[in-house]
Amino acid sequence: MNFNIEIPHSIDELVLTLNKFKNKNYRIGAGCTDLLMELKNNSASNLTIINISQVDDFNFNNVKLSNGNVDIGANTTAFKICENENILENYKTLHEAALNLASAQIRQVATIGGNICTASPSGDLICALMALKAQLYIKNSLGENREISILDFYKGVRKTDLKHGEFLSHLSLNSNNKNAFKTKSGFIKIGTRKSMECSVVSLAYHIQIDKKGNIIETGLAFGASAPIVKYATRACDFLIGKKIDSLSKTEIDTFAKLVVEYASPIDDIRATAWYRKQVLFNISKSILEKNIEK
């Protein structure tokens, strides 16, 4: 490992730094929990790490309420997400995804922006944020802003829509539907160990239900079973208008099959494609089966 480090201390400095390095070989690092591992294996020459962990900006480093929505700065650690009561109450899937991320030590430094931009096919926070249809806000080296839905952000294995010279500043979660009486929201992570684990299959769901028990809004995404984290549109649409408490076994099976249709896993050292699909099917069913709520 041999690299230079730039340490901006404010968003303005970060923009200037990116401007200075936009034509050079650089990587942005926050918690660096993935980046360091990567650098150990490939030591590129003339590399600069732009270490954004020292950027002193409240909005960049924290969760805050904004007109009913929740804004989360890109530099917010997984630990802060776990601790946030608003997220626990309204977006349980994200809370659980953060809580199951790696280990207590890693959660202290790993950031939500890092998880989103690393674009791992098994990214736990990505999975939850897709189920919540998060909106991403991006800044470039001239200080200009743009936004994009997380559902459109991923372009391939570890490829995102982020251009050279851009960085993720924050993301926003819409408030739950005003007619939602309750939400069924959670994150299921399948692996061998109870911590320090990379998902073999993961599933995030956020289902909003009105007073009469009708499903009014749905979001469901899964990880580690395709080149990118996948949003299961047809499975989500299938549930709309149905009553949560009177789904038949056939309907639940159909729903689970619709989820699996989006999967295209490979055999690798952690599991076979067969296992991933079978488990994805089973856990998709489990979220609608009674008495199995987490």
Partner 1 sequence: MGELNKLKVIGTPVPKHDGKIRASGKAVYGHDIKLKDMLYGAILRTEHPCATIEKIDISKALKLKGVECIITAKDIDVNNIGYKRDHPILKSNEVNCERDEIAAVAAQTKEIAIKALQLIKVKYKVKKGIFDPFEALDLNSPKINSFNSGKFDNKNIAEVFKYSHGNIEEEKSKSKVHIKRRFTLPRVTHACLGTSNISAQYDKISGKLLLYSSTQVPFLYQRDMAHALKMNPSDIRVIQPVIGGGFGSKLDMYPFEPICALLSIKTGKPVQIIYSRKEEFLASPTRQPMIIDISCGADKNGSFTYRDIKIIKDNGAYTSWGATTPFVIMQAFSSLYKVAACNFEATAVYTNNVFAGSFRGYGNPQATFALERMIDLLADELKMSKSEIRLKNANFKGEITGQGLHYDTCGHKECLETVINKSNFNKSTKKSKEGRYKKGIGLASMLHVGGGAKIYRSDGCGTTVKIDPYGYCTVISGSNEIGQGSETVLAMIASEELGISLEKIKIINTDTDIKPWDVGVHASRTSFVAGNSLLGAINLLKIKLNKKAKELLDSKNDDFNYENGCIIDNTEDKSINLDKVVREMHFSEPNELAIASYFYEPSSQFQDKEFKGNVSGSYAFASQAIEVEVDTYTGNVNILNVYVAQDVGKVLNPLLLDGQIHGGILQGIGYAVSEEMIYKNGILQNPNFHNYKLLTASDIPQIHFFPIETNDKQGPYGAKGVGEAPLIPTAAAIANAVCDALEVEFLELPLTPERVLKAFNNKKKLIHEF
Least distance in Å: CB of 276 to partner 1? 9
Least distance in Å: CB of 231 to partner 1? 20
- Residue closest to 293 by CA, chosen among 244, 249, 220: 244
Give the residue with the Cβ less far from partner 1, 16 or 102: 102
CA distance 243 to 42: 52
Least distance in Å: CB of 107 to partner 1? 13
* 8 A C-beta contact, residue 168 and residue 140: no
Q: What does DSSP say about strands 69-73 and 166-173: parallel, antiparallel, or unpaired?
A: antiparallel
CA distance 290 to 49: 49
Give the residue with the Cβ less far from partner 1, 137 or 281: 281
Residues contacting 178, CB < 8 A, separation 6+: none
* 8 A C-beta contact, residue 84 and residue 91: no
Least distance in Å: CB of 238 to partner 1? 18
Least distance in Å: CB of 35 to partner 1? 15
Give the residue with the Cβ less far from partner 1, 172 or 278: 278
Least distance in Å: CB of 28 to partner 1? 23
Give the residue with the Cβ less far from partner 1, 104 or 240: 104
Give the residue with the Cβ less far from partner 1, 116 or 188: 188
Give the residue with the Cβ less far from partner 1, 67 or 192: 192
Residues contacting 280, CB < 8 A, separation 6+: 201, 203, 222, 225, 256, 259, 260, 263
Distances (CA, A) of 52 to 56, 133, 141, 190, 244: 9, 26, 14, 31, 44
- Residue closest to 114 by CA, chosen among 199, 235, 33: 33
Give the residue with the Cβ less far from partner 1, 27 or 285: 285
Least distance in Å: CB of 273 to partner 1? 7
Enumerate binding residues for partner 1 (CB under 8 A). 103, 190, 192-196, 198, 200, 260, 269-275, 277-279, 281-283, 285-286, 289, 292
- Residue closest to 231 by CA, chosen among 159, 136, 138, 128: 128
